[in-house]
Structure 1
Amino acid sequence: MSGPVKVAFGPAESTPGMLVEYMALGPGGSEALPPFQGSRFRVPPGETSEPDEHAVAEIWLVRSGRGTVLSAGSRTDIRPGDALYYPPWVPHQVTSTGDEPLEVFSLWWTPQPQ
């Protein structure tokens, strides 16, 4: 069994309301692809992401900043240490409400039939 595979993040891509860096395996990591994909993103203070919904399940881990998530008609305030789960096809959007950028790690995967 080999040791851990270092995961890096690609260059930042600008999307409306935020910057996104997608997860990429480092050199020699292709033999150990994880069963999920990931990214980290930053939403500047006062900015709002584009609405998002997709066929994959997703979890957000809040690293820093504060925000408000609008999802399926409800609002949820988020802060560092919070984790949020989005089932497939649940719309979600986030606004950075603090004085510093909201930073979030996102992991997503295709759910397996039960």
Structure 2
Amino acid sequence: MSSETSTTHVEMEATAIGINFGSMLLTVDPGGRTEGHSHDSAEVWVTDSGAGYVELPDGRLEMRPGTPVEIPARAFHTVYCTSDEPMVFLALWWKRVKP
């Protein structure tokens, strides 16, 4: 699982009433992974199809359809697809914006 094969289909981000929020729909190909990274905002992910896991500094969390996964702010993470079909998941994030 060393190939970075992921696709971002839709990404939206906006700021309203002092909160920056956004969403992204992603696909990770079978045997593929995302590029490892971190960011300032927390995220919640929900898998639609396929299966895999996200590797975090404290271990890994399984990603299965319908099961939410929480990614803490500033936690380095990489997503791996372990199923024979692409893993599709929705990422949602938010953070307060300083005035």
TM-score range, shorter chain: 0.7 to 0.9
Task: Output the CA distance in 1 between the equivalents of 2:77 and 2:44.
Answer: 12
Find out whether 1:89 has 2:89 as its counterpart: no
Q: What is the CA distance between 1:36 and its match in structure 2?
A: 1.4
| 1:79 pairs with one of 64, 69, 79 | 64
Instruction: Name stretches of at least 5 consecutive residues in structure 2 with no aligned partner.
Output: none
Contact 1:69 1:75 survives alignment (8 Å): yes
Q: What is the CA distance between 1:24 and its match in structure 2?
A: 4.2
**Aligned pairs for 1:1-114 within 5 A:** 16-24=4-12, 35-111=20-96
Q: What is the CA distance between 1:53 and its match in structure 2?
A: 0.4
Q: Which has the larger radius of gyration?
A: 1
Instruction: Name stretches of at least 5 consecutive residues in structure 1 with no aligned partner.
Output: 1-15
Q: Give the TM-score normalised by the residue count of structure 2.
A: 0.80
Give the AA of the match of 1:103: V
Contact 2:31 2:81 survives alignment (8 Å): yes
Question: What is the RMSD of the two structures over their aligned residues, measured on CA atoms?
Answer: 2.6
Higher RCO (CA-CA < 8 Å; seq separation 6+): 2
The number of equivalent residue pairs is 93
Q: Give the TM-score normalised by the residue count of structure 1.
A: 0.70
Percent identity at matched positions? 30
Q: What is the CA distance between 1:86 and its match in structure 2?
A: 1.3
Higher strand share: 2
Distance 1:63 1:73, change over 3 A: same
